[in-house]
Amino acid sequence: MFMGEHQHNIDIKGRLIIPSKFREELGESFVLTRGLDQCIFVYPLDEWSQIEQKLKSLPFTKKDARAFTRFFFSGACECQLDKQGRVSITQPLRDYAKLEKDCVVIGVSNRIEIWSKSVWETYYEESEASFDDISESLLDFDM
């Protein structure tokens, strides 16, 4: 399981350090793709395969299914870490997520998300006030 929040810088060549606690679980190869909310989703290959199967089962006759599948797969690329634990992020993905220098890498259960620090801070600030309402409408945590 991926969890936690880490801050790293992306270099001029588009390389970003993946936190060491995430590397082993990612495996040798993994997939980067456009995520929701203007971030990049990073999936281990086994998780990616499960998502691929779910998306394949969507009816291609539905416009929304075709649109989402195009969005998700067209930005996807299989990657590996270099010897320094960095991943090279393609220019289209960097542009989509507005990655320039300061980045936030977060663990979200079965995936990692890569955010521009400024986009993450804005998202977090805008969402923080509604976290209680969101949790109440989604789950009963019995806490």
pLDDT for 49 equals 96
CB-CB contact of 10 with 89 (8 Å): yes
CB-CB contact of 124 with 116 (8 Å): no
Q: Rounded to an integer, what distance in angstroms lies between the CA atom of residue 50 and that of residue 69?
A: 14
2-138 CATH fold: Chemotaxis protein chec (3.40.1550)
Confidence category of residue 131, pLDDT binned at 50, 70, 90: confident
Q: φ, ψ for residue 93 (rounded to 5)?
A: -70, -40
CA distances (Å), origin 138, targets 88, 128, 135: 35, 16, 5
Say what the pTM is.
0.92
Q: Rounded to an integer, what distance in angstroms lies between the CA atom of residue 94 and that of residue 114?
A: 10
Angle, alpha carbons 68-74-78 (nearest 5°): 120
Cα-Cα end-to-end distance for the chain: 21
52-106 pLDDT, tens digit per residue, is 999 999 998 999 999 999 999 999 999 999 999 999 999 999 999 999 999 999 9
Token pair listed for 105: 């890498």
20-41 pLDDT, tens digit per residue, is 999 999 999 999 999 999 999 9
